[in-house]
Amino acid sequence: MGRYFAIRIGRAALTIVLVVTFAFVVLRLSGDPALMILGPEAPPEVLAAFRKAWGLDDPIWFQYLDYFGAIAKGELGRSMRDGRPAIELVLERIPATLALTLPAFAFKVALGIPAGIYAALHRGSGIDRAVMMTAVAGFTVPSFVLALLLVLVFAVQLGWLPSGGQDSWRHAILPIVTLSLGGAAVLARFTRSAMLEVLGQPYIRTASAKGVPWRKVVTSHALPNAAIPTVTILGFMVGTLIAGAVVVESVFSWPGVGRLLVVAVANRDLAVVQCILLLVAMTMVTSNLIVDFLYGFLDPRLRAKGAHA
Amino acid sequence: MAPLISIKDLSVAFHGVPVLRGVDLALHKGEALGLVGESGSGKSVTWLAALGLLPRNARVSGSVRLDSREILGAPAAELDRIRGGRVAMIFQDPASALNPVLTIRKQLCESLALHRDISGGAVKAEARRLLDLVGIPDATRRLEAYPHEFSGGQVQRIMIAMALAGNPDLLIADEPTTALDATIQAQILELLSTIRREMGMAMVLISHDLGVVAENCDRVAVMYAGRIVEEAPANQLFADPVHPYAQGLIGALPPLDGPRRRLTAIPGTVPDPASMPDGCAFAPRCALAEAPCGIVAPSLAPIAEDRAVACIRAEASRRALLGIAAE
């Protein structure tokens, strides 16, 4: 069991290093922060001084080593725009993002999983078809389209809700709905197919042949098995809690991590972008580790494999 | 004596395609009936339909009486009491027949809690006793194990223990040994017949292995394309099969003694359930088929006190059997 997790943690660390490296290289190859921040009219000597101050004229491998050296000391750099530590800028945006993504996550689970189970249990019925059609619509419509559609209906036409900003809880409703619908659709489809797969297994027939009432066959025989694939998707969704709302935050001008990322990328504010990506990679990797752990908890076969691995 | 269970004109169709076309079968207390036939002939479907275990898209009609009480279409609560309590069933592939995420104790105790009036420590004690009974050593510790920690033969033993949990009057064993090694097969069959003798339980042994059926059953019914084509005491069927299909099945078996002979295969294949021929379903493959065979499907008719055949040549066969044809 220990080795199983040691391998996984090692892999997780490697993933983070790769993500950070990739971001580092791409950001530096794709634009000059000095030009972006100071503007094209800035005098050349100002640009040169800026580059020197931020170490941008050092060779890229040197910058890279420097960057990792700093990370090792717990320093994630400073924003080139206002000189504040990048980590501070990011951390102060996290509550705003979580105020959208956490309720959205709860709605996805509360909506998607029961809908999927219900559809699977009534396969081929009118409700099954309705759920599946909604689900297909829910995840084929891009979130920015859905967001604009909701704004058009509820903010512009009906005037019930504000179209953007962060002044009250009412401002959070449309962003949360936008985030929830797509995720709920994915979960519903996934849960349905996981349930259908499990319901076709011989052990479900065995349970019925034992005289277990159908309701109990579903709750104590089918659901624990269908939970295994569903947890994978849930883990992925947990991984997007911090930076999964880039588009929605932009559309609704919600001052969260996603918006910060968009602005920071546009300005090539390297430290801030890298800090966010590091955070995202870490939440992704952590949620994957949690999923691995849950697999072991949910599926005794994997537990045994882990013990021998 | 009234039969324990009697099936009359049981028919099943999936999406309008008939797979079971009027099965009549009766079983008395303590009797062992073998049900043989190729895969797709309706052996398993007969019993799944009788117990209401088919998916909802199956159209089932006919009558199934348990102790003279109609159970086909009975309310779910009544069927739940019958399943596992009066009629238990074990299946072909033991490895996938147990829930992989539940311990053996949970699955075994679930059956006990459903069908026995015991609770608490008594349930666990009974679970241990059942595991002992089916020959799983170290029952106390093994109860906490999961299905994947057992071999195929052991899992089938656990399935049998689970089936016995409700003290059933009838055990349907659906190809119980098909997925197992030959040596394990013999052990499981031995276990089944010992238990059957001791508990006075009736058994239906579904198999495509004629040898298995010959050794373990009193009576045999041969199924072909959703119908029973011949029914007879086991020894008589194997000595003198009457229906040309039964003759073909037995002719395809290598004899243990006597001179070596060429094994005869039945030509052709089972007809597609969606396009059954008019008349006898076996006629297109039958070497003895005559023009009338293609017109009307013969019904299962008695040819002797304890034998029945569905073949228009049965009368001739019966005469041949009794050696009176020449007179």
Tens-digit pLDDT profile for residues A39-75 = 888 888 888 888 888 888 888 888 888 888 888 887 8
Residue at A52 is within a domain: no
Tell me: do B285 and B176 sit in the same domain: no
Please, which residues have CB within 8 angstroms of residue B75's CB and are 6 or more apart in sequence? none
**What does the pLDDT read at residue B146?**
92
**What does the pLDDT read at residue B255?**
66
DSSP assigned state of B145: S
How far away is chain A from the Cα of B15, in angstroms, using its nearest Cα?
13
The contact set of A with B (CB < 8 A) is 124, 201-203, 205-214, 220-221, 224-225, 228, 298-301, 304
Q: Is the pLDDT of residue A305 over 70?
A: no
Q: Is the pLDDT of residue A155 over 60?
A: yes
Residue at B327 is within a domain: no
How far away is chain B from the Cα of A6, in angstroms, using its nearest Cα?
25
Element at B222 (helix H, strand E): strand B219-224
| Cα gap A137→A125, rounded to integer Å | 18
Q: Do B96 and A299 touch (CB under 8 A)?
A: no
Tell me: do B132 and B260 sit in the same domain: no
Give contacts of B93 with chain A, Cβ < 8 Å. Answer: 202
Lookup: tokens for A102: 């956490």
How far away is chain A from the Cα of B86, in angstroms, using its nearest Cα?
10
Residue at A51 is within a domain: no
Q: Whole-model pTM? A: 0.82
* Domain span including residue B270: 223-322
Classify B9 in phi/psi space as left (phi over 0), alpha (psi -120 to 50) or beta: left
* Domain span including residue A201: 86-308
In chain B, where does DSSP find H-type helix?
43-50, 76-82, 94-97, 104-115, 121-133, 139-142, 152-164, 182-199, 210-216, 234-239, 244-251, 314-322
Give contacts of B162 with chain A, Cβ < 8 Å. Answer: 206, 210
**What does the pLDDT read at residue B325?**
42
Residue at B237 is within a domain: yes
Please give the single-letter amino acid code of residue B304: A
Tell me: do B60 and B140 sit in the same domain: yes
**What does the pLDDT read at residue B321?**
57
Q: What is the CATH number of the domain that holds A108?
A: 1.10.3720.10
Nearest CB among A211, A224, A298 relative to B83 is that of A211
Residue at A158 is within a domain: yes
Which of B54, B80, B158 to mutate against chain A (most A CBs within 10 Å)?
A: B80
Which of B71, B96, B99 to mutate against chain A (most A CBs within 10 Å)?
A: B99
**What does the pLDDT read at residue A1?**
59
| Cα gap B149→A193, rounded to integer Å | 28
Q: Average pLDDT in the A183-188 region?
A: 91
- Among B164, B189, B217, the domain boundary falls at B217
Please, which residues have CB within 8 angstroms of residue A115's CB and are 6 or more apart in sequence? A131, A135, A184, A188, A191, A192
pLDDT band at A34 (very low <50, low <70, confident <90, very high): confident
Please give the single-letter amino acid code of residue B209: D
Tell me: do B228 and B213 sit in the same domain: no
C-beta separation of B224 from B281 below 8 A: yes
Residue at A178 is within a domain: yes
| Cα gap B84→B168, rounded to integer Å | 7
Q: 3-class SS at B19?
A: strand
Tell me: do B159 and B282 sit in the same domain: no
| Cα gap B281→B41, rounded to integer Å | 11
Residue at A6 is within a domain: no
Count CB-CB contacts under 10 A for residue A130.
Answer: 12
Q: Do A203 and B98 touch (CB under 8 A)?
A: yes
**Cα–Cα–Cα angle for A219, A222, A224, rounded to 5 degrees:** 80
Nearest CA to B104 out of B70, B128, B79 is that of B128
Element at A131 (helix H, strand E): helix A126-140
Nearest CB among B83, B102, B166 relative to A208 is that of B83
Describe the crossing of helices B104-115 and B121-133 by its angle, rounded to 10 degrees.
Answer: 110
**What does the pLDDT read at residue A308?**
43
Structurally, chain A folds into a number of domains equal to: 1
Q: Average pLDDT in the A31-38 region?
A: 80
Nearest CB among A205, A206, A211 relative to B166 is that of A211
Kind of pairing, strands B58-66 and B307-309?
Answer: unpaired
Is B58 near chain A, with CB under 8 Å? Answer: no
Residue at A105 is within a domain: yes
Q: 3-class SS at A299?
A: coil
Residue at A238 is within a domain: yes
Q: Do A206 and B99 touch (CB under 8 A)?
A: yes
Q: What is the CATH number of the domain that holds B107?
A: 3.40.50.300
Structurally, chain B folds into a number of domains equal to: 2
Q: Is the pLDDT of residue A281 over 50?
A: yes
C-beta separation of B109 from B90 below 8 A: no
Tell me: do B187 and B256 sit in the same domain: no
Is B104 near chain A, with CB under 8 Å? Answer: no
**What does the pLDDT read at residue B318?**
58
Nearest CA to B176 out of B189, B187, B164 is that of B189
Residue at B88 is within a domain: yes
| Cα gap B290→B287, rounded to integer Å | 9
Kind of pairing, strands B227-233 and B219-224?
Answer: antiparallel
- Among B202, B217, B232, the domain boundary falls at B217
Residue at A61 is within a domain: no
Residue at B230 is within a domain: yes
- Ordered mean pLDDT values, 10 residues apiece, chain B (327 residues): 89 91 91 90 92 90 92 90 92 88 92 88 91 88 92 90 92 88 86 89 90 89 92 89 86 70 74 82 83 82 86 69 50
C-beta separation of B223 from B20 below 8 A: no
Nearest CB among B57, B83, B93 relative to A202 is that of B93
Give the bridge partners for B21, in sequence order. Answer: B11
**What does the pLDDT read at residue A78?**
84
Burial label, B130 (beta-carbon count in 10 A; 0-12, 13-18, 19+):
buried
Which of A198, A210, A225 to mutate against chain B (most B CBs within 10 Å)?
A: A210
| Cα gap A42→A47, rounded to integer Å | 7
